[in-house]
Chain A
Amino acid sequence: MECVFGLVGNDFAIVVADTSAVHSILVHKSNEDKIMFLDSHKLIAASGEPGDRVQFTEYIQKNVALYQFRNGIPLTTSAAANFTRGELATALRKNPYSVNILLAGYDKETGPSLYYIDYLATLHKLEKGAFGYGSYFSLSMMDRHYHSGMSVEEAIDLVDKCINEIRSRLVVAPPNFIIKIVDKDGAREYAWRQSVADTPAPSA
């Protein structure tokens, strides 16, 4: 099952997601990137039905880009999160999307923030959050070791603790994880944590 978790540190936010694409008992792919760049300073980590996950996050991404294009300034993380929640809520009683989202962003005025949006369109602004079976392990780990204003090294250390706990205790633990970070310099990939290397498609 898909594991997504994230936390807010001192001037940055980190999100971690597993990278397996699974279909019943088969692992189709173990290097699928589930954390999308919403814009230069926002990350959206999504878990859920494969079709919904990609289609919904791309829809949000394009709408955020359209806003920036029309208005000349990007959306704040809070605005983007509320827009996402609104779209999920509108679709909920007609054609619901089964996607759980952790939206992490950095705004110049307010600093880093993390938003928890579940498939029922619940929205919470949090310091730390998690989805999936992995949340049973990562949430308590984060509750125990988290303190506000963590440095990048401390945060990565905590992330590794969570990943190791998931790997050792979850029965169908995903082998590989991707870590992405967002801070004043923008959103970027931080690292992979791989225990099974998948042969990547060679690029031209």
Chain B
Amino acid sequence: MKLDTSGLESFPSLILHGNDVAGEISAPPSFDLPNSNDFDGFLKEAIQMVKPAKGTTTLAFIFKEGVMVAADSRASMGGYISSQSVKKIIEINPYMLGTMAGGAADCQFWHRNLGIKCRLHELANKRRISVTGASKLLANILYSYRGMGLSVGTMIAGWDETGPGLYYVDSEGGRLKGTRFSVGSGSPYAYGVLDSGYKYDMSIEEASELARRAIYHATFRDGASGGVASVYYVGPTGWKKLSGDDVGELHYHYNPVTPSTTVEQEMVDAAAA
């Protein structure tokens, strides 16, 4: 993929006839360097400021019936919650899903691009692309942009001829095949619940409940995760959205408020005067 560098080309300056333009050579494109004693430190700080932290919780796991994919829906910019309704599970094609963690624009754009490449593969080869192939396509693209500031931490989940497939792909160029992954700032919390409740032989209901629970627990503890816990299932006939529950409501579902019979201080009517 060739990068479009037309923006960097310098334009020839207008050479007016008669003016002394002997020294008027078009200068190469440049920008002012900031006045700073410690330029390296300044550069580091600038990168840190721009670099988006992967504030999210997404998870996916393979089990007997297929793949379960779940994510929260909060977008945060530092301490500000910019949205509670972000779609973090991206539908690449009817039998493959991708999750979003990191830069929203990067994830959306490159997943869409991956969808295009997968469709082209289908048209060229008269068969669907495998999950292995699709994840390798994405990993190679991201690897070629490494060091340029892309922030993508995604899982590619799908069902192909070999059965269920799950790959973790990130913008550092890493690609891992596995059975259970969780990505984002809330992932350690989700891993705990997911690992302890996981069994390969689960029914679809049990698996979706485990996924939902893991997302809920992560949103409870991680400030950068929240909103709605969406759960998708990928089976032999493609993906299907199973549930989308607000985690605030889930909290009271899992921790119901019991009306206590004893009150700290009960007000009694004064004896009728």
Residues of A at under 8 Å CB distance from B?
Answer: 21, 23, 25-26, 28-29, 32, 49-52, 54-55, 199-204
Given A21-B176, A28-B178, is A204 in contact with B163 using a C-beta cutoff of 8 Å? yes
Binding-face segment, B25-33, B90-98, B167-175: B167-175
The residue on B at minimum CB distance from A25 is B188
Cβ contact of A28, chosen from B140, B143, B161, B176, cutoff 8 A: B176
Given A51-B146, A55-B143, A202-B163, is A28 in contact with B168 using a C-beta cutoff of 8 Å? yes
Additional A-B contacts beyond A21-B174, A26-B187, A51-B173 (8; CB < 8 A): A26-B191, A28-B178, A29-B176, A50-B174, A50-B175, A51-B174, A52-B173, A199-B200
| Minimal beta-carbon separation of B179 from chain A (angstroms) | 5
| Minimal beta-carbon separation of B69 from chain A (angstroms) | 15
Q: Are B188 and A26 in contact, CB atoms less than 8 angstroms apart?
A: yes
Q: B228 interface residue, CB < 8 Å from A? A: no
CA distance A23 to B179 in the complex (A): 17
CA distance A32 to B174 in the complex (A): 12
Q: Are B166 and A201 in contact, CB atoms less than 8 angstroms apart?
A: yes
CA distance A199 to B181 in the complex (A): 12
Q: B162 interface residue, CB < 8 Å from A? A: yes
17 A-B contact pairs sorted by A residue (CB < 8 Å):
A23-B174, A28-B178, A28-B181, A29-B176, A32-B176, A49-B174, A51-B139, A51-B142, A51-B146, A51-B174, A51-B175, A55-B143, A201-B177, A201-B178, A201-B179, A204-B162, A204-B163
Q: Name the A residues within 8 Å of B168 (CB-CB).
A: 28
Q: Name the B residues within 8 Å of A32 (CB-CB).
A: 176
Residue of A26, A32, A50, A203 with highest tally of chain B CB at under 10 A: A50
Q: Name the A residues within 8 Å of B178 (CB-CB).
A: 28-29, 201
B169-223 with Cβ < 8 A to chain A: 170, 172-181, 187-188, 191, 198, 200
CA distance A49 to B177 in the complex (A): 16
Q: Name the A residues within 8 Å of B191 (CB-CB).
A: 26
Q: B134 interface residue, CB < 8 Å from A? A: no
CA distance A26 to B174 in the complex (A): 14
| Minimal beta-carbon separation of B271 from chain A (angstroms) | 64
Q: Name the B residues within 8 Å of A26 (CB-CB).
A: 187-188, 191
Given A55-B143, A201-B178, is A50 in contact with B200 using a C-beta cutoff of 8 Å? no
Cβ contact of B179, chosen from A51, A199, A204, cutoff 8 A: A199
Q: Name the B residues within 8 Å of A54 (CB-CB).
A: 173-175
Question: Nearest 5 CB-CB pairs, A to B?
Answer: A51-B173, A50-B174, A204-B162, A201-B179, A204-B163
Q: B68 interface residue, CB < 8 Å from A? A: no
The residue on A at minimum CB distance from B160 is A204
The residue on B at minimum CB distance from A201 is B179
CA distance A174 to B82 in the complex (A): 39
Q: B62 interface residue, CB < 8 Å from A? A: yes
| Minimal beta-carbon separation of A30 from chain B (angstroms) | 10
CA distance A31 to B166 in the complex (A): 15
Cβ contact of A49, chosen from B139, B173, B179, B198, cutoff 8 A: B173
CA distance A55 to B140 in the complex (A): 8
Q: Are B172 and A50 in contact, CB atoms less than 8 angstroms apart?
A: yes
CA distance A26 to B182 in the complex (A): 10
| Minimal beta-carbon separation of A132 from chain B (angstroms) | 17
The residue on A at minimum CB distance from B179 is A201
CA distance A51 to B170 in the complex (A): 9
Q: Name the B residues within 8 Å of A55 (CB-CB).
A: 140, 143, 173
Given A55-B143, A201-B62, A201-B178, is A49 in contact with B172 using a C-beta cutoff of 8 Å? yes
CA distance A6 to B174 in the complex (A): 25
| Minimal beta-carbon separation of B48 from chain A (angstroms) | 15
Q: Name the B residues within 8 Å of A28 (CB-CB).
A: 168, 176, 178, 181
Q: Are A51 and B143 in contact, CB atoms less than 8 angstroms apart?
A: yes
Q: Name the B residues within 8 Å of A50 (CB-CB).
A: 170, 172-176
Q: Name the A residues within 8 Å of B181 (CB-CB).
A: 28
Q: Name the A residues within 8 Å of B176 (CB-CB).
A: 21, 28-29, 32, 50
Per-residue A-contact encoding for B31-55, CB less than 8 Å = 1, 0 else:
0000000000000000000000000
CA distance A51 to B175 in the complex (A): 7
The residue on A at minimum CB distance from B139 is A51
| Minimal beta-carbon separation of B56 from chain A (angstroms) | 14
| Minimal beta-carbon separation of A134 from chain B (angstroms) | 21
Per-residue A-contact encoding for B135-163, CB less than 8 Å = 1, 0 else:
00001101100100000000000000111
